[in-house]
Amino acid sequence: MKVSYTEKQPRVHCTRAKVVSSRDLPDGFARMKLIIPAIARQAKPGQFVSVLCPTDDRRVRMFNTAEDWAAVYRRKPARAPGSPPLLRRPISIHQVGKNGTLELLFKVIGRGTKLLSCLKSRDHVDVLGPMGNGFDLSGRYDTAIIVAGGAGIAPMPYLAKTLHKMKKKVVIIAGTKDVFPIDMSLFSSFGAELLLSKETRHRGYHHGLCTELLEQYLDKCGRRTCHSVQAFSCGPKAMQHAVAKICSKNSVPLQVSLEQRMGCAMGACMACVQKVLNKQGYSDAHNVRVCTEGPVFDGEKVVWNEK
């Protein structure tokens, strides 16, 4: 196992950030805008921040009134079940704005993210970041294909914007079940070509999976143009596995952004691991930390069906 634990890593900041705005979005997503100049200055596309969930009583009481618990318990429980969350939640950087603002987009899946989505403007939240390696944008390609599924859309606007600034042609292939959490025309402002799919039938959208769109697009490109293409993807693991297969078939280099349950996000606890291959192939697969060596990995090196 060749994991360098002591390689020089850039500094990480831990600050109390002020919430500028917070909004609930369709399909259980939430978006939060924060002022954190220290992190915003350093952040690269594909990196994430580790956010401490608010734990004061006021928030917990707010959480009591949320409909999801009311639905579970038929009426408001006397207090929120369980105790306030402890661990920080890893959330990818959605956009970096001017004046040191940072936008986070996340899906509300449990107690911690619910509490975060309850934050209002002028509240404060403790943020650690920027964490992880981020996407590697170097290389001789002129077209970047961005494949995003479901919550995997979160890190993509910042990536598309950065690629657009680098004068690359950007193609967004995104899929969702029913509705996109954000207004997808945002990507058009970065000069991106949009190919969208939904699993339910909608006018103007491909009916099916975004991986089908990717396959069609690459077929259309043909072998020759595939050489100058770099693909980036983020989303559910099954989707990313399919993307990796398609890209490998068309010999398109791919970078995947993965997620895993995290402990410290600093590389100390070894909780968030992913099995990846070394040069020697499967005989040498080993676990590396998603928070430090990831979250972005070479699509060819990820061991997808891990037992």
Partner 1 sequence: MKNSDANLSVNIAGIKMTSPVLTASGTFGFASEYTRVNRFRADDIGGVMLKGTTLEPREGNPPPRIAETSAGVLNAIGLQNPGVEHVITEILPSLTNFAPKLIANVAGNTPLEYGKVTKRFDESGLVHGIEVNISCPNVKRGGALFGHDPVASSRVIKAVRKVTSLPLIAKLSPNSTDICSIATACIDSGADALSLINTLQGMAIDSETRCPILGNVCGGLSGPAVKPVALWKVHQVYQVTKKHRVPIIGMGGIENAKDAIEFFLAGASAVAVGSAMFWNYRVCTEMVAGIRRWMSKHNIRRVSQITGKLKTRK
Tell me which residues touch partner 1 (CB under 8 A).
1, 3-6, 9-14, 38, 52, 82-83, 85-88, 112, 128, 260-264, 266-274, 286-287, 292, 306-307
Give me the least distance between CB of 272 and partner 1, in Å please: 7
Q: Based on CB atoms, which residue is closest to partner 1, 63 or 141?
A: 63
Q: Based on CB atoms, which residue is closest to partner 1, 215 or 293?
A: 293
DSSP-derived secondary structure for 78-123: SS-SS----S-EEEEEEEE-STTEEEEEEE--SHHHHHHHT--TT-
Pairing of strands 89-96, 48-51: antiparallel
Q: Based on CB atoms, which residue is closest to partner 1, 34 or 213?
A: 34
Give me the least distance between CB of 276 and partner 1, in Å please: 12
Give me the least distance between CB of 176 and partner 1, in Å please: 20
- Compute the distance between CA of residue 194 and CA of residue 37 in angstroms, rounded to an integer: 31
Q: Based on CB atoms, which residue is closest to partner 1, 228 or 260?
A: 260
Cis peptide before 157 (omega within 30 of 0): no
Give me the least distance between CB of 260 and partner 1, in Å please: 6
- Compute the distance between CA of residue 149 and CA of residue 138 in angstroms, rounded to an integer: 24
Neighbours of 29 (CB within 10 A): 22
Give me the least distance between CB of 216 and partner 1, in Å please: 32
Q: Based on CB atoms, which residue is closest to partner 1, 6 or 99?
A: 6
Cα 247 off chain centre by:
20
Q: Based on CB atoms, which residue is closest to partner 1, 3 or 166?
A: 3
- Compute the distance between CA of residue 118 and CA of residue 68 in angstroms, rounded to an integer: 13
- Compute the distance between CA of residue 161 and CA of residue 147 in angstroms, rounded to an integer: 15
Q: Based on CB atoms, which residue is closest to partner 1, 53 or 146?
A: 53
What's the length of the chain?
307
Give me the least distance between CB of 282 and partner 1, in Å please: 13
State phi, psi for 175 to the nearest 5 degrees: -135, 150
- Compute the distance between CA of residue 76 and CA of residue 58 in angstroms, rounded to an integer: 16
Give me the least distance between CB of 179 and partner 1, in Å please: 21
